[in-house]
Chains A and B, each alone.
Chain A
Amino acid sequence: MRLSVAAAISHGRVHRRLGLNPRSRLDLLRNLVTALVRHERIEAPWARADEMRGYAERLIEYAKLGDTDERAMRMANFWLTEKDLIHKLFKVLAPRFQPHPGSYTRLLQIPNRDNLDRAKMAVIELKGNPFPPLITPRRDTDKTLLNQLLKGYRQDMQQAAAP
């Protein structure tokens, strides 16, 4: 059993290190959260979007507590750098997500960025945004092979049962 940890090994460590230092990481995430609340759909590197998702969802949970709550207002004041978005958060997003118990965001991976770095990118959006949907759910049509076979089987069963 390894009793001392080598500094350069990071097996199993879950906390990501973004930016220059912890303060810079929080500033980065804060900018992303502000952009998400403003535009409701953002493209960002996957690691940053994944990190930001937790903070955004907790912010919405705080907003659900209401406008008059002191802690909620202080959180919104810290996390949203553009102050007109505080109004949007409490008046638009909180009522929109009131019936939902959790998971207010959707994170989907995009093809890698076209630059030299080929970074893994993701698009993160708030559910219920006015923009066109990113994934259209496909309904099963009757024309697929499996459905045709099942239909035939059902008809055979009915003919065998009827006469």
Chain B
Amino acid sequence: ALVVVFSPLPRLRGLLQRCWGRLERGLLPGFCGGWSPPWGPALAVQAPAFVPEPVSDTGESGEVPSLFDSILWMAAPKKRRTIEVNRCRRRNPNKLIKVKRNIDVCPECGNLKQKHVLCGYCYAKVKAETQLIRMEIRKKEGGPFNTPTVETVVLYEGEKPTEEDKGKRIIERARKRPSWFVQN
């Protein structure tokens, strides 16, 4: 650690101190107290870092200004909210969960469904069947990027391609035709 040791002439030291003090008061008005370290042409010496700290406000400058002084520091509730007021707020209609009135019974399977949404059970059924058809398509195509340039038709067990299925690619599914998949 470095410690400054100085030995200027006494008169020169006083003059320099006054000049510096004026400068500092002009440039650094926040400088602590009136104390400034004794300075002047000096000599820097390697020595232990203990410097006797003068009594100043540096200890308190890091602290938050005491709560006695500042009235507008933090917002806090003034009174306890009574249970009546709390109930009014918690049970206000905009906080309650709305009752859904658009639930119906699906005519196909009998499960519940929302009016503007597809039935979950029927959709899962159709999705499973589509998945199986897609697996058959994948087996037929072999690799990726082999999309054919003709339409596709799905035929179940015991079905023959008709007149309109002339130029189409035929996908065979090894099961009976489900009742909800009407052949066009």
Q: Is B140 an interface residue (CB 8 A)?
A: no
**Chain A positions 83-128 with a Cβ under 8 Å from a chain B Cβ:** 83-85, 87-88, 91-92, 96, 108-111, 123
Q: Are B152 and A130 in contact (CB under 8 A)?
A: yes
Smallest CB gap from B151: residue in A: A92
**1/0 contact trace for B143-158 toward A, CB 8 Å?**
0011111111110000
Q: Are A109 and B117 in contact (CB under 8 A)?
A: yes
Q: Is B50 an interface residue (CB 8 A)?
A: no
Q: Are B130 and A85 in contact (CB under 8 A)?
A: no
Counting contact residues on chain A (CB < 8 A from B), the size range is: 20 to 34
Give the residues in chain B near A39, CB-CB below 8 Å. Answer: 134
**Chain A positions 1-39 with a Cβ under 8 Å from a chain B Cβ:** 38-39
Q: Is A138 an interface residue (CB 8 A)?
A: yes
Smallest CB gap from B119: residue in A: A111
**Chain B positions 125-184 with a Cβ under 8 Å from a chain A Cβ:** 126, 129-130, 133-134, 145-154, 171, 178, 180-182
Q: Are A110 and B182 in contact (CB under 8 A)?
A: no
B107, B147, B171, B182 interface centre (most CB from chain A within 10 Å): B147
Task: Pick the residue among B123, B129, B151 that contacts A96 (CB under 8 A).
Answer: B151
Distance in angstroms from B154 CB to nearest chain A CB is 5
Q: Are A134 and B126 in contact (CB under 8 A)?
A: yes
Q: Is B69 an interface residue (CB 8 A)?
A: no
**1/0 contact trace for B94-107 toward A, CB 8 Å?**
00000000000001
Q: Are B182 and A136 in contact (CB under 8 A)?
A: yes
Smallest CB gap from A87: residue in B: B149
Q: Is A64 an interface residue (CB 8 A)?
A: no
Q: Are A132 and B126 in contact (CB under 8 A)?
A: yes
Q: Is B118 an interface residue (CB 8 A)?
A: yes
A residues near B (Cβ < 8 Å) are 38-39, 41, 82-85, 87-88, 91-92, 96, 108-111, 123, 130-136, 138
CB<8 Å pairs between A and B, sample of 28: A39-B134, A83-B145, A84-B147, A85-B147, A87-B147, A88-B147, A88-B149, A91-B149, A109-B118, A110-B117, A110-B118, A111-B120, A123-B118, A130-B133, A130-B151, A130-B152, A130-B153, A130-B171, A131-B126, A132-B129, A132-B178, A133-B181, A133-B182, A134-B126, A136-B108, A136-B180, A136-B182, A138-B107
